[in-house]
Amino acid sequence: MALSSLQLVAALADGQFHTGDALGLRFGVSKGGIWKAMRKLEGLGLDVHSVRGKGYRLSEPLTLLNAEHIRANLPPSRRAELSGLELLPQVDSTNAHLLRQAQAGAGVVGDRDDAARGLAARAPRLDVEVGDGVTGSAHGVSLSATRLLGYIRGRASL
In the chain, the percentage of residues whose pLDDT exceeds 70 is 62
Give the mean model confidence (pLDDT) for residues 110-138.
Answer: 52
Q: Is the pLDDT of residue 11 over 90?
A: yes
pLDDT band at 154 (very low <50, low <70, confident <90, very high): low
SS3 state of residue 129: coil
d(CA 50, CA 48): 7
User: Whole-number mean pLDDT of the chain?
Assistant: 74
Q: Which domains does the chain have, with CATH numbers?
A: 5-58 (1.10.10.10), 67-152 (no CATH)
For the segment 38-76, what is each residue's pLDDT rounded down to a tens digit? 999 988 888 999 999 999 999 999 888 888 888 888 888
Q: Is the pLDDT of residue 79 over 70?
A: yes
DSSP run (H or E) holding 88: strand 84-88
